[in-house]
Structure 1
Amino acid sequence: MRALKIVIPLLLLSACAGEAEQPAPPPLAVEVVTISGARIPNVIELPGRVTAVRKSEVRARVTGILEQQLLQDGSYVREGQPLFRIDPRELRASLAQSQASLQRAQATAANARAVVERYRPLVAENAISRQEFDAAVAASRAADADVAQIRAQVQAASLQLGYTTVRAPISGRAGRAQVTEGALVSQTEATLLTTIEQIDQVYVVFSNSAQDVLAIRRAQADGSLVLSEGGGVPVTLTLPDGSEYPISGTIDFLDQSVNEATGTVELRARFANPEGILLPGQFVRVQVEAGYYTNGIAVPQVAVTVTDKGGTVYVIDDEGKAQVRPVKLGAMFDDKWIIESGLKVGDKVITNNLQKLQPGAPVTIATPSPAPSRSPTPASAPKSAAPASSRAE
């Protein structure tokens, strides 16, 4: 028993000594990219909304009962094509009344001119007074004025009658009719009949923060940002289903004022839409290629971990340990993230084994495997093969 009491503590001490002597795990081998300034595109990604290049609201210009709808909802219409017909009978009667008044006025004016011509030789012979002649001339001029006034009334009545046939002001795709046959449409209320939109060309409207616009202008001024040659700024779109729109556009409008409510500046790009894929009111993602940075920073996509708070990467510090570095992510191009802030030239960013890393863990940079050497030519080559010198000859 006394021997056991002595042996058991010795065994425990030897076991503890064995555990303390276990070596620490070796540093994890990782692959890195060293950050260096490079030419990278300045891609700005923003939400945008599609609008028609031209949109026309077709409204009633006369008051009356809608007699007939001549267009099919959603069809393509041409400029000047009849769309609706309003009951013209009342306006037709008004035009006839104006035309009758014009004929009466013309007859009165003709009689007044005849009186002046009869009085002209008589006043020269002092057969009538000068006052009577002047009164006849004044009456003739008043009759001519009445003719001109009533002729204008005839033209107005004719225009009103023409408005009973509602025509398309522009070519484009017509929307749904807002009224039906038998409805009373009003000139004073400008009753909306339908809308027409041109969508073979469309605008995409989007906004960028005034701070970002100012940063772009400053970068352009100091030479770190170079705009594309020719001054055009190409724009591409990502559709709601994630696919890329095949036709690129260009920015054709930049607002010169900042929206006080949102602190943003409105921009607009124009796109061809021959297949009608882009529809007014549709939301898309806009990628603006506003030149390129001469000393920009980008890292492979696999090196970035994206969280709700932003992006992070692992870098190797001066002691050879992995450290988490938060970064501000820009847009993506090819298979890389553009880094707007958080990294500097010379930083070593880890690109693999991210799941095995812990902040502060020691790491070592893995050396790339050498390329496999080509196998030598077998000694038993076919005798018919000519030597290199003879082939050269």
Structure 2
Amino acid sequence: MNKVLPASALIVLSLIVSGCSGEGNSQTPPGPPATKAEVSVVSLHPQSVAITAELPGRTTASLVAEVRPQVGGIIQKRLFEEGSEVREGDPLYQIDPASYQAAYESAVADLQKAEAAIPSAQAKVERYQGLIKQNAVSKQDLDEATASLAQANADVAAAKAAVQTSKINLDFTTIDAPISGRIDKSTLTPGALVTASQETALTTIRTLDPINVDVTQSSVNLLNLSQAIDAGRIKISGPNVSVKLKLENGAIYSQAGKLEFAESAVSETTGTFSLRAQFPNPDRLLLPGMYVRAIVEEGVASNSFLVPQRAISRNSKGEATALFVTQDGKVEQRTLEVGQSVGNNWLVSSGVSDGDRVIVEGSQLVRAGQEVDAVDVVIDETTGEVRERHQGAAPKVRAEDVATGLPSKSDVTGSTAKD
């Protein structure tokens, strides 16, 4: 008679049978598919690029005048406010004029005395000229009278010169501004004794509007620019070269300047030559001695490519390289020929073509030949950082996730385990 097994025994028996049937199957269940690394790319297109040179320099006053006395004496008054703007001809100092006034009056008196002797000498000559016809006087007497008249005329001329000299010295007791500009502090106070053409200047006047900027340019850069112009890669922007100014705090000066001249010789010690640009300075924002950087427009490079600096690295040979994403979504490494920097970009002359996509983020996570997901981004030209990302872009893959082939935490967030 068959016995019916209890339900618990049936459960145990089924577990034993299922365990025996799985003894020969040692394979693990397949893991999740590998996730492609995400990289940020910028599409490159040819454009006309303004070639500029950013050169260090310092501001200098367009006119400088050191004020010194031209006559000696005691300073009675200072007639200007220190640090103010003065105009050419404004009185600055008053030297005690008493002695110069007396010398001027004495010279005037000597002139009057010399002029008084002329009528008598002139009349004597005329009288002797009439008498000599009658043989009443000798020829010698006429010659002496003529010489006396000439001497009297010479005395008048000398007296006039003495009057003019004394008048000039008297006028020099008032020291006037030789140029217009901003005046510095006074080195002497009223009561101080000064001498003519003394070594110590009383004050200094500087013309600040316009103001000059003296910069230096490398002779190598000049040769490179000339060769690029001759080869047709760069077109000269025009005879009136515009210059912009970058201040010490990084701000761009609001007024544009113009290039005045360049030196005709290169320094044998530094290999550079000097350039001078002139800028309007109506608000007196620029002061002499400031360190600035002049941005000089040298020309325009047509059909050129700008590659973000963050996308370019150097290999062991010192060559510039960058990673690109091909049409089939694979990474490709190229060697580029780069020129000068333009903002936060490099001017690239070879190695790129229209529509190429260069990797600007995630290049350290991928290698050549690897398939990637490319997301278009926009680079901020001011900072060189990524400013805008394509809508709906997938989350970034971390470096450790790429190495292990596991999905990132963001891929499993919110999932639930099945029972």
TM-score range for the pair, normalised by the shorter chain length: 0.7 to 0.9
Name the CA shift for 1:313/1:73 in 2 (closer, same or farther; >3 Å). Answer: farther
Is residue 215 from structure 1 mapped to residue 224 from structure 2 by the alignment?
yes
- Spell out, residue by residue over 1:143-165, the C-alpha distance to the aligned partner (whole angstroms, 9 max, x if none): 21121112111101100110110
| 1:81 maps to 2:90 | yes
Amino acid at match of 2:286: L
Counterpart of 1:258 in structure 2 is 266
- Cα contact 2:45–2:305 (8 A) shared by 1: yes
Residue 118 of structure 1 and its aligned partner are, at CA, apart by 1.9
Residue identity (%): 36
Aligned in 2, Cα 1:25/1:63: closer, same or farther, shift over 3 Å?
A: farther
In structure 1, the residue matched to 2:208 is 199
Shift in alpha-carbon separation, 1:327–1:103, aligned structure 2, 3 A: same
C-alpha contact (below 8 Å) 1:29/1:363 kept by paired residues: no
1:149-203 CA distances to partner (integer Å, 9 max, x unpaired)? 1211110110011011011112221111121112221214254111112222111
Q: Which residue among 61, 64, 74 is the counterpart of 1:52?
A: 61
Q: What secondary structure is seen at the aligned counterpart in 2 of 1:226? A: coil
Q: Counterpart in 1 of 2:255?
A: 247
Which residue of structure 1 aligns with residue 132 of structure 2? Answer: 123
**Partner residue of 1:12?**
none
SS in 2 for 1:43: strand
User: Which residue number in structure 1 is paired with residue 105 of structure 2?
Assistant: 96
**Structure 1 residues 30, 160: closer, same or farther in 2, change over 3 A?**
same
Is 1:148 aligned to residue 132 of structure 2?
no
- Check conservation: 2:55, 2:217, Cα contact below 8 A: yes
Partner of 1:228: 237
Residue 306 (structure 2) aligns with: 298
**What's the TM-score, normalizing by structure 2?**
0.72
Distance (whole Å) between structure 1 residues aligned to residue 373 and residue 233 of structure 2: 34
Deviation at 1:355, TM superposition (A): 4.8
Counterpart of 2:50 in structure 1: which amino acid? Answer: P
Aligned equivalent of 2:147: 138
Shift of 1:301: 4.7
What do the CA deviations read for 1:326-359 (whole angstroms, capped 9, x no partner)? 9665231xxx413367x633586421114535xx
Matched residues in 2 for 1:238 and 1:314: separation?
Answer: 31
SS of equivalent residue, structure 1 residue 196 = strand
Match of 2:341 among 326, 330, 335: 330
In the aligned structure 1, how far is the partner of 2:335 from the partner of 2:100? 81
1:364 and 2:365 matched: no
Counterpart selection for 1:344 from 333, 351, 354: 351
CA distance in 2, matches of 1:362, 1:23: 22
CA 1:25–1:313: 2 relative to 1, 3 Å: farther
Q: Report if aligned partners of 2:336, 2:348 keep a CA contact under 8 Å in 1.
A: no
Give the conservation status (yes or no) of the 8 Å contact 2:183–2:204: yes
Query: Is the 2:42–2:360 contact (alpha carbons within 8 Å) kept by the matching residues of 1?
Result: yes
Residue range with higher mean Cα deviation, 214-223 or 27-36: 27-36
Residues 24/96 of structure 1: CA separation in 2 closer, same or farther (3 Å cut): farther
CA distance in 2 between counterparts of 1:323 and 1:212 reads 27
Q: Which runs of 5+ in 2 are unaligned?
A: 1-25, 377-389, 393-419
RMSD of aligned residue pairs (Cα, Å) = 3.5
Give 1:110 deviation, angstroms.
2.9
TM-score by length of 1: 0.77
DSSP-derived class of the 2:143 partner: helix
Q: For the Cα contact (< 8 Å) 1:249–1:272, is it kept in 2?
A: yes
What is the alpha-carbon distance in structure 1 between the residues aligned to residue 271 and residue 150 of structure 2?
Answer: 65
Q: CA deviation at 1:27?
A: 6.8
SS in structure 1 of the partner of residue 211 of structure 2: strand
In structure 2, the CA distance between the partners of 1:40 and 1:102, relative to structure 1 (3 Å rule), is same
Match of 1:388 in 2: none
The answer on 1:180 being equivalent to 2:189 is yes
* 1:65-120 deviation per Cα after TM superposition (whole angstroms, max 9, x unaligned): 21111111001112211100111112122222222222222223332212112212
Gap change, CA 1:179 and 1:356, over 3 Å in 2? farther
Q: Is the 8 A contact 2:335 2:351 kept in 1?
A: no
Task: Find the residue that maps to 2:282 and give its secondary structure.
Answer: coil
Alignment of 1:313-328 (within 5 A): 314-315=322-323, 320=331
2:288 matched residue in structure 1: 280
5+ residue gaps, structure 1:
1-14, 373-393
Shift of 1:214: 2.0
Mean CA deviation greater in 88-97 or 125-134: 88-97
Change (3 A) 1:70 1:42: same
Aligned length: 346
| 1:311/1:327 contact within 8 Å kept | no
CA distance in 1, matches of 2:371, 2:194: 81
CA distance in 2, matches of 1:340, 1:89: 76
Q: Which moved more, 1:96-105 or 1:164-173?
A: 96-105
Deviation at 1:126, TM superposition (A): 0.9
Instruction: Give the Cα–Cα distance (whole angstroms) in 1 for the partners of residues 115 and 371 of structure 2.
Output: 107
